[in-house]
């Protein structure tokens, strides 16, 4: 499931691009997993991710492709593409890999290189 909350403006992120994002990740049952935004202060520490097959989980890459700078998107990522790839281990490792992940994403800047 994927829904755009805010569309954003500018060029869409494409495979091979590098994007800077803020996100909140929860399990589908609401259990908090990780966030780049502090829930108390609101301060953020965006992450920079390449949209390739080597450094990002497949499900997150699929959600980010097509987003525009300033866009906000909510997505449920199934376990089959939400935790690992051939090059990545589950992060954090104690996360149960049979749960659907719920991501709230904000693309801060799409860096087109």
Q: pLDDT (tens digit, 9 = 90+) per residue, 13-50?
A: 999 999 988 888 887 777 887 888 888 898 988 888 88
Does CATH number 3.30.43.10 belong to domain 2-111? Answer: no
Q: What confidence score (pLDDT) does residue 83 get?
A: 65
- For every residue of 66-110, DSSP letters joined together read T--TT-EEEEEE-HHHHS--SS---SSTTS-TTSPEEEEEEEEEE
Query: What's the predicted TM-score (pTM) here?
Result: 0.76
What tokens were used for 31?
């259990």
Q: pLDDT (tens digit, 9 = 90+) per residue, 55-113?
A: 888 888 888 999 999 888 888 888 777 766 555 554 545 555 556 666 665 555 555 44
Asked if 89 and 13 count as a contact pair (C-beta separation under 8 A), the reply is no
């Amino acid at each position: 499931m994927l829904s755009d909350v805010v569309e954003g403006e500018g060029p869409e992120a494409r495979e091979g691009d590098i994007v800077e994002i803020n996100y909140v990740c929860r399990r589908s049952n609401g259990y908090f997993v990780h966030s780049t935004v502090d829930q108390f202060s609101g301060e953020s520490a965006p992450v920079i991710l390449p949209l390739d097959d080597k450094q990002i989980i497949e499900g997150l890459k699929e959600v980010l492709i097509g987003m525009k700078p300033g866009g906000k998107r909510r997505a449920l990522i199934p376990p089959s593409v939400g935790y690992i790839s051939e090059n990545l281990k589950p992060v954090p490792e104690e996360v149960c890999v049979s749960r659907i992940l719920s991501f709230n994403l904000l693309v801060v800047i799409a860096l087109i290189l």
